[in-house]
Amino acid sequence: MLTASLAQEIAHENAAVTGLGILITDRNGEVIGSSDLKRVGSFHEASVEVIQTGLSASHTARQAAALQGVRPGLTLPILLNGKAVGTVGITGSPPRVRRFGPLVRRHTEILLRESATLRSQLLRERGIEDLVRDICGFDPEVIEPAALHARAGELGYSLECHRAAVVFNLLASPVEAQKLRQDTAGLRAEVVRIIREGFGQAEDIVAATAPGRFVVLHRLSAALPFEGALSTICDAITETVRARHKLTMNAGIGGAGTTLTELRSALQDASDALLLGAKISPNAGTHSIRDLRTYQLLSGAGQRSRSRLVATELVELRAQADWKQLRATLIAWSEAGFKLVDAASALHIHRNTLLYRMAKIEQITGRSLRDHSASITMYLACLADQIDDA
């Protein structure tokens, strides 16, 4: 745990505080950090006995001269969990530096414990990230399910409960992207913390899986509709990120599942919701796959099939100057259940304006919008056009 880089940092900080010469050795007495860089890599003989006995030792100029690599001063053991992991040496006459001994040793041990805690946290975060990545790409022919369940258990999670999938994505302008590159680790950890606080359950699995991308497997208390509650949580989280870091973040809510295969599909749903939602409703911050299932189906059909559908059903309408208004009319007409009042309300237009647009569509296409089968076909073509329009 006492690495050379950490030892050098500790020596530098202690020297800055005390104004004295400071060195740090490992368990073998080798100097791995020092305020005097020339001493790094040398052997400090006094440290060997201090490590063995666990007791501090002081050396006058005469005593130090008889030992290899030792100068007058004080040598103290560095203890971690009661075990000596190295020593810290303070250069100067023993009577002068002795009063600094407890301070330097305490400061050194605090820094070492903090480093050990941080390392443990980083290893845990990496373990969670790897777990989520493996769930995202789960293939029972490649990854043994029992192994994933065991890894999740070691991290304190169960993969056998009902979970909903959410994916967050940071959207950055060129200037913001530069900021992200400069402080990737710090911002990444801060966003993960904000997401965990937003969901507020220790059982929720939260991980950063790629630059600017964060995944949540939210534990559900029951298999009830959850999209509304999750949307509220996601909106609050994205607003917090915007307020604190001036960054835009969108969220995609996927399906839910209990098995690894279901969780993989739920995560794919959440990613699809992010992608499709940004095209269909670019002003919305949170998108649910439940509202985008038809778009998802059309997206899965492939670009060639969508283009063919659009070309055969909408070619005359797409040539009109007010095509996007006509497209919105066809979509609202179908989604309102072919009811004039509801469709007009959805479009925020007068009933007569809706009738005018419908008459224009019927005249151009030669189809009656009262023929619901024809309307649905044109509706699907409009959705396909929306997907490829962005």
- CB burial of residue 273 (10 Å; 0-12, 13-18, 19+): buried
pLDDT tops 60 at residue 53: yes
pLDDT at residue 390, as a whole number: 61
Last residue of a domain, one of 67, 91, 118: 118
Residues 296, 289 contacting (CB under 8 angstroms): yes
pLDDT tops 80 at residue 174: no
> Region 95-113: what's the mean pLDDT?
87
Residues 228, 240 contacting (CB under 8 angstroms): no
Q: Cβ–Cβ contacts within 10 Å for residue 270, how many?
A: 27
pLDDT at residue 176, as a whole number: 60
Q: Which residue has the higher pLDDT, 131 or 82?
A: 131
> Region 336-351: what's the mean pLDDT?
94
Specify if 132 maps to a domain: no
Distance CA 107, CA 103 (A): 6
Confidence of residue 182 (pLDDT cuts 50, 70, 90): low
Specify if 55 maps to a domain: yes
CATH of the domain at 385: 1.10.10.2840
pLDDT at residue 349, as a whole number: 95
Which residues face 83 on adjacent strands?
A: 80
Q: 262 is written with which tokens? A: 């279901």
What counts of helices (H) and strands (E) characterise the chain?
A: 16, 10
pLDDT tops 70 at residue 381: yes
Specify if 131 maps to a domain: no
> Are residues 257 and 336 both part of a single domain?
no
Last residue of a domain, one of 118, 146, 176: 118
Confidence of residue 80 (pLDDT cuts 50, 70, 90): confident
Share of the chain above pLDDT 70, in %: 96
**Domain enclosing residue 378, as ranges:** 301-389
pLDDT at residue 260, as a whole number: 94
> Are residues 157 and 55 both part of a single domain?
no
Distance CA 73, CA 276 (A): 69
Q: Cβ–Cβ contacts within 10 Å for residue 215, how many?
A: 25
pLDDT at residue 245, as a whole number: 86
> Are residues 66 and 173 both part of a single domain?
no
Specify if 127 maps to a domain: no
Which of 49, 44, 38 minimizes the C-alpha distance to 24?
44
Of the listed ranges 14-23, 40-49, 111-120, 346-355, the one predicted with least confidence:
111-120
Distance CA 374, CA 367 (A): 7
> Region 293-309: what's the mean pLDDT?
92
> Region 280-290: what's the mean pLDDT?
91
C-alpha separations of 141 from 138, 145, 182, 261 in Å: 9, 9, 40, 12
pLDDT at residue 224, as a whole number: 65
C-alpha separations of 259 from 90, 127, 159, 264 in Å: 59, 20, 7, 9
pLDDT at residue 352, as a whole number: 94
> Are residues 8 and 77 both part of a single domain?
yes
> Are residues 268 and 358 both part of a single domain?
no
CATH of the domain at 219: 3.30.70.270
> Are residues 186 and 257 both part of a single domain?
yes
Residues 289, 268 contacting (CB under 8 angstroms): no
pLDDT tops 90 at residue 67: yes
Distance CA 52, CA 98 (A): 21
Q: How many residues does the chain have?
A: 390
> Region 24-28: what's the mean pLDDT?
93
Please provide the average confidence, as pLDDT, over all residues in the chain.
90
pLDDT at residue 109, as a whole number: 86
Rounded to two decimals, the pTM is: 0.71
> Region 282-301: what's the mean pLDDT?
92
What is the distance, to the nearest Å, from the Cα of residue 335 to the centroid of all Cα atoms in its chain? 35
- Tally of structural domains, the chain: 3
Which of 247, 217, 237, 347 minimizes the C-alpha distance to 286?
237
pLDDT at residue 188, as a whole number: 87
> Are residues 229 and 163 both part of a single domain?
yes
Specify if 130 maps to a domain: no
